[in-house]
Amino acid sequence: MLDSPQHGHRMPLVHAIGLLCHGAWQVDFQWIPRELNMVADCLSKLPSPPQFSLLVTTVIPEPARPFLDRDSEGPPYSRHSHVVT
């Protein structure tokens, strides 16, 4: 899908990603499990502002509050230990 960016691709987001990947910089994709990124997952599902404008808020959206509270305590499944030898 991303090998050759085509003009007028049926999926505009895939086309845009393809264009970015073929730029004069290095692109690395990192998969983050949804369970470790619940706040971002929740925010991505909120209604979009009209015409893709930027939304800046100083108030935590209510649907995200439980995930932020849980993340501030550090859920047990996201705690990783790193041993240096």
pLDDT tens per residue, range 3-31? 554 555 567 888 888 888 888 888 788 88
pLDDT value of position 49 = 74
> What is the C-alpha end-to-end distance of the chain, expressed in Å?
41
pLDDT value of position 42 = 87
Amino acid present at 9:
H
Range from 16-20, 44-48, 69-73, 79-83 carrying the lowest mean pLDDT: 79-83
Full-model pTM: 0.47
pLDDT value of position 81 = 54
3-state secondary structure of 60: coil
